[in-house]
Amino acid sequence: MNYQTKMKLRRWNRKPFIAYALLGITGFMYIVQEVLGGSTNPRVLVLLGAKVNELIVLGDWYRLITPMFLHIGITHLLFNALIIYFLGIQLENIFGHWRFFLLYLFSAIAGNAASFAFNQNISAGASTALFGLFGSTLVLGKLFPSNPQIGAMAKNFSLLIVLNLLFGMFSPNIDMAGHVGGLLGGYLLAYALSAPRAWEKNKQRQLVYTLIYVGVVALLIFIGYSRLIPITQLFN
């Protein structure tokens, strides 16, 4: 491999291509929603993978993942897209591409599992994953204690988290369970994944937080399933 090719690969590797890909997929799915009948159409949301508790119990476990690519209305989409762009790019630079992707994905799973356990309504949106990103910022100050810029970012997002949670408490259409679940998932995952340039590499701590994450998600799924298990008996 020649020098120019190596430099091109290095420049490409510095770009936040995971954040860009998430934005692209999210935008594409919104167009699909509109073509099929509208992003606020319940039939379209269910068809494309929104979180529906009864269908999850009946075997549609992929609905713990797919809701993060769907949005209800253009305002919902634009607000979440802005967060993916501004916060996602920063965190992808800190965590690295694949750690960032895992943080986003498994935060969404934790948030959707919490929604499955405690919210009976149909839900969709990237907010579960985005609150996971918020939750990860609470850990960054501990992973990079000597970096004042990261520390300042962590403090700023702490205030934003509080404001978002307070806003959600007074908005009946917001899935608070999904937000809190994503927030907790992101917090645990930030420790489990750590970051390439973090001051300390503690494999034991990473394992502990990974197991805690798995335990929390399993418990949430058990709660959601146990609350709706009579539904499955209707089809036996």
In the chain, what are the domain boundaries? Answer: 14-233
Residue pLDDT, tens place only, 85-122: 999 999 999 899 999 999 999 999 999 999 999 999 99
The answer to whether the CB of 47 falls within 8 A of the CB of 32 is: no
Q: What is the pLDDT of residue 195?
A: 73
CA atoms within 13 A on the CB side of 20: 7
- Closest to 101 in 3D by CA, of 110, 113, 88: 88
**pLDDT > 90? residue 69:** yes
Question: pTM for the full model?
Answer: 0.88
Residue 107 is a catalytic residue: no
Confidence of residue 230 (pLDDT cuts 50, 70, 90): low
Across 60-88, average pLDDT: 94
Catalytic residue among 39, 107, 123, 127: 127
Q: Which CATH architecture describes the domain 14-233? A: Up-down Bundle (1.20)
Please report which confidence band the pLDDT of residue 197 belongs to, taking 50, 70 and 90 as the band edges.
Answer: low
Give residue 70's region: left, alpha or beta (phi > 0; psi -120 to 50).
Answer: beta
Alpha helices in the chain (DSSP H): 3-14, 17-36, 42-48, 53-57, 74-83, 89-95, 97-118, 127-143, 148-169, 176-193, 203-233
pLDDT of residue 84: 93
CA distance 210 to 99: 13
- Any catalytic annotation for residue 127? yes
